[in-house]
Structure 1
Amino acid sequence: MTLVRLGYVAMSVHLQNASPSKTMTYKTFSKMEDQEAAIGKLEQIAQTNLHNCLRLLRHNAAHDIAFFRLSSKLVPLATHPELKGWNYIEAIQSSLGQVKEFLINHPDTRVDFHPDHFVLLNSPGKDVLANSVKTLRMHYKLLKGMGINHQHRCVLHVGGGYGDKEKALERFIHNWALVSTDLQHMIILENDDKVFTLSETLYLCEKLGVPLVFDYHHYLANHSETENWQKEWERVVHTWTATKLPVKMHISSPKSDKQYRAHAEYVDSSMFMDFLREIKGSVPQIDCMIEAKQKDDALFTLMKDLRKYSEVEMVDGASFYIR
């Protein structure tokens, strides 16, 4: 028997006017004559984003949702090179403190980040790598400001294949040594839907001591003929032995046969059950991040759909046992 907790990504379709990703373009920022006022506007947007983040966390608690992906766009232009001297953490410290207080009062809540696709640790470009590290540092500062243990809180893809996947994997290992230890500890890796398969991602995770986030949909979209995720599951679980966090996976469904890699509005419960039946009992708990267009409504709908399965024993509004 395994406890399954469901989570969703960054935004609610039920909670109105609660976007944690409001932004300002650098073009708009640069047009403001008073730069001090422009910085103040950025700080105001960031505070609004964090206020909405707190609203989302309270919404989640009211519906028993203890797993949530934070928006990586909480602070607009935080890593822009023209704003190098901006101490955004000091400006939003009070707002971060409110999130911190909530998390202290809800110790079972697990939150993490999934930085954007331009964070590429295996890039051959020095500027791309430097900007990726800068973005990771921003995530680290936000986690610290929220009082969250930074270890294993940022999901990354391996990166680009650059015409030679073997070299791209070795470049990841080389560039990994250029990343500071505190940021290394923050990272977990995910198999992707186009380039790096489960086996290739496992190779890196085992070599570098990094937990692997298994994306079931990505595996179905991108795996070799000889690859079998069930046979690799024990290795996936083993990558999590050095962390206090439960094993994490991503669940989504294809939008259509023609758009197989795209995420559907909701999650197909039968597809999810195919996965759960294979892994039940292999771990005491697994946290499953729903990547669906309908966000929290996809979670609520999946919970309703799962009630029809005899192997499912409901615990609360967002978790259950699979027997």
Structure 2
Amino acid sequence: MTIVRLGFVAMSMELKNASPSKTMTLTQFQKTEDREAAIRKLERIALTNLENSHRILKHNHFNEIHFYRFSSRLIPLADHEELAGWDYMQPLKGKLAEIGKFVKEHKMRVDFHPDHFVVINSPNRDVLINSVKNLKMHYLLLKGMKINPTHRCVLHVGGNYKDTEKSLERFVENWSDVPLAIQQMIMLENDDTSFTLEDTLYLCEKLGIPLIFDYHHHLAHHREDNWEEHWNRVVDTWKTSPLPIKMHISSPKSEDKFRHHSDFVDVDMFFKFLNEIKGTVPQIDCMIEAKQKDKALFTLMKQIKARKHVEMIDGSSFYLQ
């Protein structure tokens, strides 16, 4: 028997006026003649994003959802060179501590997925430096919440640069320039165009990084490939993690737009995966990457309740028998 828990990404489709990703562009910042006033406005936006994140967490608790991915855009321009020297954490400390206390009280699993410009295997040194700077922001946010940062940030391997082998080895080389505390925060995900499950496993096994299996990405990259033969290797990458194994689930928008995420999750596609892995792990946390966010989770749970060999636990969790 395996426990399956569902989560969703960043934005709630059920709550009104609760965006955790409100922003200010660099152009808007630069247009404000009073720099200090512009910084204070950035801080107010960041606090609003955190307040909305807290609202979403309360919504999740009410609906028995225990797994959530924070927006990586909580603090606009946090790592931009124009804002060098800005101590963005200082005005956020109280709210971050409040959020962290709520997360721990209700035993929630939370994490981040930094944006596509965070690229560890870049041949450009400045891109690597800026990537580490961005990852440090995520680390500080987790520390501000007093949440153990270990395995809380999902990354893609990065760019392929028309040479998979060299790009994988560059990741290994650049990894030594990533501070240990940030290394310990990272999980890697297979993608849909550049790095296959086996490519990503190579790095995860070599560097001791947990692998998040994205089933949709795998199908988009290799529809005929037998992923099941690698599943035990995926599970082994989590053997030293304090967290249960995690995967991503989404469904193709259409056959001709297979790589695009649909609004909802195809329950049959999801159970095709689950029926292959049931019993191999005591628990698996499944992050829904569907356009309809929490609404997709609620819809999926209604469909799951109607299936055989399932025992419901609560609003987002069930036993797979």
User: Is the CA contact 1:197–1:224 (under 8 Å) kept in the aligned structure 2?
Assistant: no
Q: Distance in 1 between matches of 2:198 and 2:185?
A: 22
Partner of 1:64: 64
**Correspondence for 1:302:** 300
Q: Which residue of 2 aligns with 1:77?
A: 77
Which letter maps to 2:115? Answer: D
Give the residue type in structure 2 aligned to 1:249: M
Q: Structure 2: how far apart are the matches of 1:316 and 1:224?
A: 33
Deviations 1:243-295 (A, max 9, x none): 11000000000000111000000000000000000000000000000000000
1:6 counterpart SS class: strand
1:2-17 paired onto structure 2 within 5 Å:
2-17=2-17
1:113 paired to 2:112 = yes
Letter in 1 for 2:167: A
CA-CA distance at 1:21 after TM superposition = 0.3
Following superposition, the deviation at residue 224 of structure 1 comes to: 8.0
Shift of 1:104: 2.8
Distance (Å, rounded) in 2 between the aligned partners of 1:224 and 1:195 = 14
Indicate whether 1:220 and 2:227 are aligned.
no
Residues 8, 69 of structure 1: 8 Å contact kept: yes
Aligned residue number for residue 244 of structure 2? 246
Corresponding residue number in structure 2 for 1:53: 53
With the length of structure 2 as denominator, give the TM-score of the two structures.
0.99
Q: What letter matches 1:240 in structure 2?
A: W
Give the AA of the match of 1:151: T
Distance 1:100 1:322 in 2: 30
Aligned to 2:134: 135
Match for residue 315 of structure 1?
A: 313
1:113-262 matches, within 5 Å, as 113-223=112-222, 227-262=225-260
Determine what percentage of the aligned residue pairs are the same residue.
63
In structure 2, the residue matched to 1:278 is 276
Distance in 2 (CA, whole Å) between partners of 1:118 and 1:223 is 25
Residue 236 of structure 1 aligns to a residue whose secondary structure is helix
The answer to whether the 8 A contact 1:198-1:223 is kept is no
1:96 is matched with 96
For 1:214-241, what per-residue CA distance to the aligned partner results, in whole angstroms no more than 9, with x for missing partners?
A: 000000001386x421010000000000
* Secondary structure of 1:317's aligned partner: coil
Q: How far has the Cα of 1:103 moved from its partner?
A: 1.7
Aligned residue pairs total 321
C-alpha separation in 1, matches of 2:100 and 2:37: 28
Return the alpha-carbon distance in structure 1 between the equivalents of residues 257 and 184 of structure 2: 35
> For 1:307 and 1:243, how far apart are their aligned partners in 2?
30
Give, in whole Å, the separation in 2 of the partners of 1:64 and 1:101: 17
Q: Which amino acid aligns with 1:214?
A: F
Question: What is the one-letter code of the residue matched to 2:320?
Answer: I
- The offset of 1:24, in angstroms, is 0.2
Q: Distance in 1 between matches of 2:282 and 2:220?
A: 28
CA distance in 2, matches of 1:182, 1:224: 36
Q: Counterparts of 2:163 and 2:41 in 1: how far apart (Å)?
A: 44
1:4-43 per-position Cα deviation (integer Å, ceiling 9, x unaligned): 0000000000011000000000100111011111000000
Distance 1:223 1:119 in 2: 25
Residue type of the partner of 1:292?
Answer: A
- Aligned partners of 1:100, 1:266: CA distance in 2, in Å? 29
Per-residue deviation, 1:97: 1.5
Unaligned runs of 5+ in 1: none
Q: What CA distance in whole angstroms lies between the structure 2 residues aligned with 1:306 and 1:66?
A: 17
* 8 A Cα contact 1:5 1:67, kept in partner: yes
Greater mean deviation of Cα atoms: 16-25 or 215-224: 215-224
Distance (whole Å) between structure 2 residues aligned to residue 302 and residue 224 of structure 1: 23
Kindly provide the CA deviation profile for residues 71-94 of structure 1, in whole angstroms up to 9, marking residues without a partner as x.
Answer: 000000001101110000012111
Separation of aligned partners in 2, 1:81 and 1:72: 18
Query: Runs of 4+ in structure 1 displaced over 6 angstroms?
Result: none
